[in-house]
Amino acid sequence: MQVDKSLMTGSTVMLVLSLLSQREMYGYEMIAELARRSEDTFQLREGTLYPILHTLEADKCVTAREKAAGNGRTRRYYRITRRGRKLLEEKQAEWKFFTDKVEQVVFGTSPSPA
C-alpha cells in the first residue's frame, strides 16, 4: 500500500531518533534501516534526512563524530544524547495521543484508559 507522504512529515524526527536510540549510525545506514524496518514504506531521502540531523545536532539532541570507513572515505556517525532521548519520549507520547484520537474518530474506538 502506498502511504501519503504528508503522513510521514510529522513523524520523521521521531523515526530518526528511534533508530539512533538503538545504536549510532551514519546517514545512508539510517535511510537503509528505515526502509528495511518499514518494508520500504518509508523511503527517506538524503535531502530530507540531513537537515533533520543538522537541526537535532544544533539542538543537542544528537552528537556526531567522523570515522574512517573501510573504503578510505570518512563517514559521519550520529548518536542520540540524553536530551534526544527525552525528545524521543515526548514525540512517542505525542504520537500515541494522536493515533488514539484518530482511531477514535475513524474506527469508533473508545478512549484509551488513562
For the chain, the structural domain boundaries read 5-107
The per-residue pLDDT for range 53-87, each reduced to its tens digit, is 999 999 999 999 999 888 888 999 999 999 999 99
Q: For residue 91, what is its C-alpha cell?
A: 514525540
Within 8 A by CB and 6+ apart from 84, the residues are 17, 20, 21, 56, 60, 61, 62
CA dist 62 → 41, 57, 76, 82 (Å): 25, 5, 12, 9
- Type and span of the H or E element at 32: helix 27-37
Q: How confident is the model at residue 114 (pLDDT cuts 50, 70, 90)?
A: low
Is 112 in a helix, a strand, or coil? coil
Instruction: Kindly report the CATH class assigned to 5-107.
Output: mainly alpha
The per-residue pLDDT for range 23-47, each reduced to its tens digit, is 999 999 999 999 999 999 988 999 9
Q: What is the pLDDT of residue 9?
A: 77
